[in-house]
Structure 1
Amino acid sequence: MKAIRLRTPGGLDHLDLVELPDPGRPGPGEIRVRIHASSLNFHDLGVVSGAMPAADGRIPMSDGAGVVEAVGEGVDEFAVGDTVVSTFFPHWEDGEAPIADFSTTPGDGVDGYACEVVVRPAIAFTRAPHGYSHAQAATLTTAGLTAWRALVYNGGLKAGDSVLVLGTGGVSIFALQFAKAMGASVIATSSSDEKLEHARALGASYTINYRSEVQWASRVLDFTGGRGVDHVIEVGGPGTLPQSIQACRIGGHIALIGVLTGGAGPVPTAALMKRQQRLQGLIVGNRRQQTELVRALEATGIVPVIDRSFALEAIADAFRLQQTGGHFGKICLEF
């Protein structure tokens, strides 16, 4: 089978297309899946670039979607021909997070889904939404579930709430779509007027170009009558968190999802305390949450926004597009 292997120390020129032995039949509790798509995330870029070192020869990509080709003894949740999508934490089925690292995450601590066939425990997958393409399904593992958990599980999103999404990457666009579907209003930021136009087309009530509006938190307060938003999808980290605190209402919820501006930095703790806000870090979610996300997508008809797809052998080009920040929504691999 075809696969991508990452040679140490990482870097896009160290991604090799290789032929590997077929993984064979599934054992008890396992399924064999023909992978047809994956989607790119910031975490995947960290691995392939070498910023998050992985074992030599690691097969990258945390997201995978495809078709069940065989089921092992004792598996009754899936049947041959089912379309499925992988989970980010294959052993976290339900409840509170039991892990604080990526040791079990495909494409990082273990081999991922930049390959044609895998044999994995059945619990490493859920069914894909009915009618979704493989590429659309692959966007759910990381970006879709992160946005869902942030707003629905952690945030308790309800109709009439207001949500601020930073940027127009995969998580933020999913958050925009979920918020609108649940009756919330959305404010979106970007450095691109063209992307902001796309965000308005998806239902954003207000948009802010943070390059021309450097103090974008003030604009958020203007848009909300001085109150601030109920929820912030915070993907920037230390470089944006101070303004997110300012833009969030007293007693509001900030979901700390990304660290695009750096892994560490000062936090205005006095402002956070004074505004009595809840700042919650999260990394994706569990299998039960993904199963419920799939049901919600089928009920609402939400379709993931995919900017562009690449062939497996063009994986480096896909990451180069991600590095430029020129995409809106998700970038996928299809094979």
Structure 2
Amino acid sequence: MKAWILHDFGIKNLKLECVEKPSPKNGELLIKVGAASFNFRDKAIIDGFYEPHRIPKNLIPVSDAAGVVVAVGDGGSKFKIGDRVTTHLYSNWIDGSPKHNELDYCFGMPLPGGLAEYMIIHESAAVAVPDYLTDEEASTLPVAALTAWYALSDFGNIKSNDTVLVQGTGGVAMFAVQFASALGAKVIVTSSNDQNIRKAIKFGASMGINYRLNPAWEEIALELTEGKGVDLTIELAGGDGINQTAMATKVGGKIAQIGFLDGQVSQLHLMPIILRQLTIRGFAVAPRLAYEEMNKFLMVNKIHPVIDKIYSFDQVEDAYNHLTKGAFGKVVIKIS
């Protein structure tokens, strides 16, 4: 089969090669991959600043993929040939709290990912595709959609008339906008691009703040919430910006720390956290059962993922560059 192999850090070291097609063992499924989608995690792995000590040689990267079951290992399976499934990033995390070693079982690093014509998924890590979605759409669900869903539902417990602030208009952000809107919340989106704010409003955001034109954007967020602050902030920037996030979040509110676009290190001001009695929780996707609950929500609401562009299998470098420059929603690679 053809697969993209990462030989060393840097996009120039990601090569399309012919390698042996894997065979499913007991409990495993062989998937003919229809599409894969890029996350910032994948870019960080390729660039070498996401747990670089864990990255094996000759890795097939990219965690999120959707396709069809073409072979089943010995012992049978709850899935059959012809079923459409996606990966689940933390392949061993089924329910409850994560275990200490979940990182050892992640697709796209250290396990082989979906940037290949075929891949192996254990049946316990496979999730059925909502039948109204294409492979390209389904490939966006495992990380971006599930992270947004878990932050809103499990942590935020978002309900009608709550206010959610979403940073940016990338993959996780646009799922958060759509999910929060469908849950009945008012959504404030931040972006440096007025056009992206207008597009986000079409997908369910109530209002937007251009943080480039308004560097003290947290003050605008307070004005938009009558001085109270938002119930939940979907924090995707990282870095020192979390201090502005704290000021934009209401007393007793919550911050879902998901991203690190502006850096993995922050100089946190403790007094606003203490005096506003905020809860900050880190998010690294969610268990498989939460994924299945999200898919039920998708089916009821018929939400379609926001895809900025779909690239062909030989245009992976172009897709990577698109993600690097910034995408509105998701960047997808069509494989078969």
Q: How does 1:1-335 map to 2 (within 5 A)?
A: 1-8=1-8, 10-24=9-23, 26-52=24-50, 53=52, 54-99=55-100, 102-325=103-326, 327-335=327-335
With normalisation by structure 2, the TM-score equals 0.96
TM superposition shift of 1:72: 2.5
Alignment check: 8 A CA contact 2:77 2:123 kept: no
Give SS of 1:145's match: helix
Tell me the percent identity.
37
One-letter amino acid matched to 2:29:
I
TM superposition shift of 1:101: 6.3
Alignment check: 8 A CA contact 1:5 1:57 kept: yes
Alignment check: 8 A CA contact 2:240 2:265 kept: no
Task: Tell me how far apart the structure 2 counterparts of residues 46 and 208 of structure 1 sit (CA, whole Å).
Answer: 27
Task: Tell me how far apart the structure 2 counterparts of residues 12 and 222 of structure 1 sit (CA, whole Å).
Answer: 43
CA pair 75-272 structure 1, distance change in 2 beyond 3 A: farther
Alignment check: 8 A CA contact 1:33 1:70 kept: yes
Moved more, 114-123 or 69-78: 69-78
Task: Tell me how far apart the structure 2 counterparts of residues 247 and 75 of structure 1 sit (CA, whole Å).
Answer: 52
One-letter amino acid matched to 2:169:
T
One-letter amino acid matched to 2:42:
D
Task: Tell me how far apart the structure 1 counterparts of residues 132 and 125 of structure 2 sit (CA, whole Å).
Answer: 21
One-letter amino acid matched to 2:186:
S
CA pair 271-23 structure 1, distance change in 2 beyond 3 A: same
Per-residue CA distance 1:158-202 (angstroms, 9 max, x = gap): 111110000001111100000010100100010011101101111
Give SS of 1:239's match: helix
Alignment check: 8 A CA contact 2:189 2:205 kept: yes
CA pair 256-192 structure 1, distance change in 2 beyond 3 A: same
Give SS of 1:263's match: coil
Task: Tell me how far apart the structure 2 counterparts of residues 284 and 99 of structure 1 sit (CA, whole Å).
Answer: 15
TM superposition shift of 1:29: 1.1
TM superposition shift of 1:96: 0.3
Alignment check: 8 A CA contact 1:32 1:71 kept: yes
Alignment check: 8 A CA contact 1:188 1:204 kept: yes
Give SS of 1:103's match: helix
Task: Tell me how far apart the structure 2 counterparts of residues 70 and 295 of structure 1 sit (CA, whole Å).
Answer: 26
CA pair 288-75 structure 1, distance change in 2 beyond 3 A: farther
Give SS of 2:254's match: strand
Task: Tell me how far apart the structure 2 counterparts of residues 285 and 140 of structure 1 sit (CA, whole Å).
Answer: 12
TM superposition shift of 1:271: 0.6
TM superposition shift of 1:249: 0.6
Alignment check: 8 A CA contact 1:75 1:122 kept: no
Alignment check: 8 A CA contact 2:90 2:102 kept: no
Task: Tell me how far apart the structure 2 counterparts of residues 171 and 75 of structure 1 sit (CA, whole Å).
Answer: 35
With normalisation by structure 1, the TM-score equals 0.96
Give SS of 1:146's match: helix
TM superposition shift of 1:56: 2.1
- Structure 1 residue ranges (4+ consecutive) displaced by more than 6 angstroms after TM superposition: none
Identify unmatched segments of 5+ residues in structure 2.
none
TM superposition shift of 1:100: 6.3
CA pair 322-275 structure 1, distance change in 2 beyond 3 A: same
TM superposition shift of 1:30: 1.2
One-letter amino acid matched to 2:10:
G
One-letter amino acid matched to 2:314:
E
User: What RMSD in Å do the two structures reach over aligned CA positions?
Assistant: 1.2
Task: Tell me how far apart the structure 2 counterparts of residues 91 and 144 of structure 1 sit (CA, whole Å).
Answer: 19
